[in-house]
Chain A
Amino acid sequence: MVKVYVLDVPEFRPIIEGARRAHIGVSGPARGYYVIAGERELMFSRKALGLKPAVWYSSLSGGLEGRIAQFDRDTLRIVEP
């Protein structure tokens, strides 16, 4: 299981909305964080989320259960540790 914790504030909300659009499991918010969970992998595209770079590069700042396989200007891929 791979999990990303996302702080419940406006600047990170596009990540939550993007995950919901892509039918990725989102729960919360609980204790101030949403949790995005994937079976083996999670993948995000900055352009699809509409995030500016400065916020994009903090996308995992709420906490991570998993390992970063790719994190560049447009793609973020998380896999199992």
Chain B
Amino acid sequence: MNRPVLRGVHHTARPTWKLSETVEFYRDRLGLKLVHAISAKGWGPQGHPDFLHFFFDSGQGSTIAFFYYIGSPQPDYLVHKPQWDCDSVHTAWQVESEAQLREWKAFLEGRGVKVEMHVQHELIESIYFRDPNGYLIEIGRQLREMTALDERDAGMTLEAAIAAETEARAGGTPFKSIEAVWQRKGALQRKAA
């Protein structure tokens, strides 16, 4: 059977313990339309609290959604820390041009949202800011199309990295730096030449 088709993101969802601030931020400050809200009696797994699940329109049929669990205190492990490991979970929205990215930056700053970073990555130029939960949001524009070359290179990078991880798991050289990946990839390149 062929792999069935995917048609992009419908929604991503994260929990919030700041209901009013979250609605105010996404709907009123960012101007994203509140398009759907589920309010339900707790059901399913035992102990599941009553909840709200609500969605803001982020363009092209995508939404960003939140859960608010009524009467359920925030566990420590879900308190977002603004640092690299927690921030790996983030939402990245797409714009089409440099002008649109500049407009977003000015729009956010004009509405009192601090833009923390403006970074030119390899394939995307992005700005970053936080919502009232501390969650990181990225808005980016893709700088060029991904090509077959990118795909082949990605395959080789991951092949090298998985080999380094496998060796470390088997009790060999610990996998502690990206240098090990680059050297393994160098060896793959040499072999292919």
Please report A residues at the B interface, Cβ cutoff 8 Å.
Answer: 3, 5, 7-12, 30-33, 52, 54-55, 58, 60-68, 81
- The answer on a CB contact under 8 Å between B186 and A54 is no
Given contacts A54-B119, A58-B122, contact A64 B153 (CB under 8 A): no
* B188 within 8 A of partner (CB): yes
Instruction: State A31–B149 Cα separation when bound (angstroms).
Output: 9
Interface centre among B119, B153, B182 (most CB of A within 10 A): B182
B interface residues, how many (CB within 8 angstroms) = 25
* B76 within 8 A of partner (CB): no
- The answer on a CB contact under 8 Å between B153 and A62 is yes
Q: Which residues of B are found within 8 Å of A52, using beta-carbon distances?
A: 119-120
Instruction: State A7–B189 Cα separation when bound (angstroms).
Output: 11
CB distance from A3 to the nearest CB of B (A): 7
* B94 within 8 A of partner (CB): no
Given contacts A31-B192, A54-B121, A55-B120, contact A61 B182 (CB under 8 A): yes
**A33 partner, pick from B144, B150, B189, beta carbons under 8 A:** B189
Given contacts A52-B119, A67-B183, 14 further A-B pairs with CB under 8 A are A7-B149, A7-B150, A9-B147, A11-B122, A30-B193, A32-B152, A54-B122, A55-B120, A58-B122, A61-B185, A64-B179, A65-B186, A65-B189, A66-B183
Please report B residues at the A interface, Cβ cutoff 8 Å.
Answer: 119-123, 143-144, 147, 149-150, 152-153, 156-157, 179, 182-183, 185-190, 192-193
Instruction: State A44–B192 Cα separation when bound (angstroms).
Output: 26
**B120 partner, pick from A54, A64, A65, A66, beta carbons under 8 A:** A54
Instruction: State A60–B189 Cα separation when bound (angstroms).
Output: 13
Instruction: State A32–B188 Cα separation when bound (angstroms).
Output: 14
- The answer on a CB contact under 8 Å between A65 and B190 is yes
**A5 partner, pick from B123, B147, B150, B189, beta carbons under 8 A:** B189
- The answer on a CB contact under 8 Å between B150 and A9 is yes
- The answer on a CB contact under 8 Å between B149 and A64 is no
Interface centre among A7, A8, A11, A63 (most CB of B within 10 A): A63
Instruction: State A81–B134 Cα separation when bound (angstroms).
Output: 44
